[in-house]
Amino acid sequence: MTIGIDKIGFATSNYVLKLNDLAAARGTDPDKLSKGLLLKELSIAPLTEDIVTLGAAAADPILTAEDKEKIDMVIVATESGIDQSKAAAVFVHGLLGIQPFARSFEIKEACYGATAALDYAKLHIEKHPDSKVLVLASDIAKYGINTPGEPTQGAGAISMLISSNPRILAFNDDNVAQTRDVMDFWRPNYSTTPYVNGLYSTQQYLDSLKTTWAEYQKRHKLALKDFAAYCFHLPYPKLALKGLNKIMDKSLPQEQQDQLRKNFEASILYSQKVGNIYTGSLFLGLLSLLENSDNLKAGDRIALFGYGSGAVSEIFSANLVEGYEKHLSQTRLEELDQRQALSIPNYERIFFEEAELDAEGNASFSGYEEQSFALAEIAEHQRKYIKVEKSS
């Protein structure tokens, strides 16, 4: 029996900030963002969009009524949770109409969370091959106005339906993880934006990659020659490119080195337009690879490197299943181009916007007609979500 990704979906917010505009406003050379970080645009989420609405929007289009009957576990991985107690997965379970006898919970370890969620989903399917697990990686990355991290913000969610005999990717049983207790990026409960030791975080990312990859190769007797593509966590694509350069085996035939580099280019296309979506970033890279590579084929082995600050990293691999391309989208880039561009004042207004609760803890919101799901109101401190009805 194989276990892996049967379906994959993605959602982001309807607003986009063009990084040329940001560069002009901050007095930064635009090349620093387009060449130095390899970024072009980033998604900005308004108050009515959060990890619940983005997660539901990523999952809704990929799920059938039969899937909703078979899903018995919903995991939301996130580091931008909306409640210290109630899991976002419980809200999403309700919004999507998943059958009641399911386990729903949230999981956290910075950008690594979704990788851990996949491991747990795999173990669950091993025990219960007829069930399905919905894994959502949903985050809004906010660093702060005029900070070094500002151009690397983003918002979005990836949904993955994990099952036996999957139709897209079959996991190999080869995960190697590493934990190191470091303070490279963290967000205390009292802060809406993270504290970042930027340069140190990039060193931790690259060193975690080097050492976990060395251990992976030793344990599994595999090398870069055995892989058609390598996906990386993408805080911003330039760091992942440095990662690829670090692990590149110069003794490989030029043709294979070129293939790995071409597939890397395919894997960063969506992130370049969405920004960092934290725990979903690795899987946004995977989706971008699968939907844009022109050289992948069934049976190809793909490596995935997950990294979450703090820090936990993991390398694992999956093989492409025959016919995988039939379960993907060909219109994703066009859809991203339909987002509404924000002026700098509007971006900054959205950035600082907060719910203004009255004395009883009530607030209602508007302007979410273009969203799939929305935070419509807060009533006595309870967040109320709706599926937005579209007039045809």
Burial class (CB in 10 A: 0-12, 13-18, 19+), 35: exposed
Total interface residues for ligand HMG by CB under 6 A: 29
Residues 210 and 67: their CA atoms lie apart, in Å, by: 39
Complex with ligand HMG: residue 166 or 275, whichever CB lies closer:
275
Stretch that binds ligand HMG, among 146-154, 245-253, 360-368, 377-385 (CB under 6 A): 146-154
Complex with ligand HMG: residue 36 or 94, whichever CB lies closer:
36
CA separation (Å) from 306 to 125, 186, 208, 381?
Answer: 21, 17, 10, 35
**Bridging pattern class, strands 71-77 and 103-107:** parallel
Stretch that binds ligand HMG, among 254-262, 302-310, 335-343, 362-370 (CB under 6 A): 302-310
Two tokens, residue 224: 């870069």
Write phi, then psi, for 7 (nearest 5 degrees): -145, 155
Among 82, 94, 182, 198, binds ligand HMG (CB under 6 A): 198
| Residue type for position 88 | A
Q: Looking only at residues 318 through 377 of this chain, which bind ligand HMG when binding is defined by CB under 6 A?
A: none
- Positions at the binding site for (3S)-3-hydroxy-3-methylglutaryl-CoA: 29, 143, 242, 276
Complex with ligand HMG: residue 62 or 118, whichever CB lies closer:
118
- Residue 196 contacts ligand HMG per CB under 6 A: yes
Among 288, 308, 313, 374, binds ligand HMG (CB under 6 A): 308
Shortest distance, position 115 Cβ to ligand HMG, whole Å:
11
Complex with ligand HMG: residue 166 or 280, whichever CB lies closer:
280
Among 23, 25, 32, 333, binds ligand HMG (CB under 6 A): 32
- Residue 201 contacts ligand HMG per CB under 6 A: yes
* Ramachandran sector of residue 76 (left: φ over 0; alpha: ψ -120 to 50; beta: rest): beta
Among 212, 276, 292, 317, binds ligand HMG (CB under 6 A): 276
Candidates 212, 168, 157, 205; CA nearest to 185 is 205
Stretch that binds ligand HMG, among 51-59, 164-172, 231-239, 294-302 (CB under 6 A): 231-239
Residues 58 and 122: their CA atoms lie apart, in Å, by: 20
CA separation (Å) from 37 to 107, 152, 230, 241, 308?
Answer: 29, 8, 19, 10, 19
Q: Is 231 a catalytic residue?
A: no
Q: Is 79 a catalytic residue?
A: yes
Q: Which residue out of 93, 111, 124, 314 is catalytically annotated? A: 111
| Contact indicator for 244, 303 with CB cutoff of 8 Å | no
Among 172, 193, 202, 319, binds ligand HMG (CB under 6 A): 202
Candidates 163, 207, 157; CA nearest to 311 is 207
- DSSP per-residue codes, 76-111: EE-SS-S-SSS-HHHHHHHHHT--SS-EEEEE-BTB
- Residue 246 contacts ligand HMG per CB under 6 A: no
Complex with ligand HMG: residue 111 or 116, whichever CB lies closer:
111
- Residue 110 contacts ligand HMG per CB under 6 A: yes
First-to-last CA distance in the chain?
43
Look at the block and give the residue holding tokens 């989706």: 287
Which residue lies nearest ligand HMG, judged by its C-beta?
A: 36
What residues are annotated to the active site? 79, 111, 233
Enumerate binding residues for ligand HMG (CB under 6 A).
Answer: 29, 31-32, 35-37, 79, 110-111, 148-149, 152, 184-185, 196, 198-199, 201-202, 205, 233, 235-236, 239, 276, 278, 307-309
